[in-house]
Amino acid sequence: MSASLIEIARTFNSFTSAAEKSVLFSTKQNPSTPSSKQLYIANTLVGFVPPFAIEAFSKSSYFTSTPISITLVPSLLSYQQRTHAIASMLSAWKSSGLFECLKGWRNEQYTVYGSNNEPIVAIERSAIGLFGVRSYGCHLNGYVRTVDAHHQSTIKMWVARRSYRKQTNPGMLDNIVGGGLPCGANPTANIIKESFEEAGISSDIASRAISVGVVSFWQDSSIRGYIPDTEFCYDLELDASFIPHPADGEVEEFFLWDLETVKDHLSKGEFTPEAGLVVVDFLIRHGAVHPLSEPAFLELSLLLRREFPFPGPSFV
């Protein structure tokens, strides 16, 4: 089984723009079906609640409902109060075994931002798809470049196979370094820290990584819910002599592949959604996927930068 890059990108971006519009523009007279609902916290639209989570929210005293929206009660005034209330609700949901995704409880919180980029609440990572709020991660493309006498440059990319013991996407292919961006961290500091933990890249070397932009996509997972995800991307050119080695047991093995081999594994669906789209972005930025090689080049380019109707963070 092999799929084209655009099919892969569409699969990873499984919550379509059309579905987004049907929730965003549903009205009380004409609520969308199936009934995803807009989620409001601190007067801000911050997420979409997936159909399978609506009943649970409607039973919680912390939320009020209309045919099109779910709203955290405004009496919860502060970040701390909101975070505490939601943690207590999730703890009850976890105990009662209500949602499969909460079995992967991470004890790690993701921040939700208000319209001025201010943190308005933090939510346990394994639960964010139930709220459909934005999530964030950082990925590092580690690559080795050789240039011949005719200025022709050849790039090979380091690829990691995730540990078979990881909670999410065990055994799948990933970037040399990648992970969620936890509460309070900044993307650049986070990528340097993770570079050492996941691939044994010293902070001296990791500090040479270049921020190259973002990739964003919106996943619709039947287990986790809606994941409007943003990945901060970094490129790091490594010496041919460098060999990565995992320090924290999160990686099974590393491969150094030419870009055609990377594309083969992409088309077989072996990469995680996050890494898959980050790798497609790398292939586009380095000329390995271009207008004359890829029939859906324009759609693919634009699909990698999905806009979301919810505010996000600022790190400055």
Question: What is the smallest separation between the CB atom of 68 and a copy of itself, expressed in angstroms?
Answer: 16
**Encoding tokens for residue 307?**
């806009």
| Cis peptide preceding 34, ω within 30 of 0 | yes
Give CA–CA dist 281/288, Å, rounded.
10
Nearer to a copy of itself, 197 or 237 (CB): 237
**313 scored as a contact of a copy of itself (CB under 8 A):** yes
Stretch near a copy of itself under the rule CB under 8 A, chosen from 63-71, 73-81, 120-128, 282-290 = 282-290
**Encoding tokens for residue 297?**
């080049």
Give CA–CA dist 219/203, Å, rounded.
32
| Chosen residue from 49, 72, 214, 278 binding a copy of itself by CB under 8 A | 214
Site for a copy of itself in 131-160 (CB under 8 A): 151
Give CA–CA dist 245/238, Å, rounded.
14
Site for a copy of itself in 26-55 (CB under 8 A): none
Give CA–CA dist 104/208, Å, rounded.
34
**182 scored as a contact of a copy of itself (CB under 8 A):** no
CB contact at 8 A, 272 and 204:
no
**232 scored as a contact of a copy of itself (CB under 8 A):** yes
| Cis peptide preceding 311, ω within 30 of 0 | no
**287 scored as a contact of a copy of itself (CB under 8 A):** yes
Residues that bind a copy of itself (CB under 8 A): 17, 21, 25, 117, 151, 186-188, 208, 210-214, 216, 230, 232, 281, 284-287, 290-299, 301-302, 304-307, 312-316
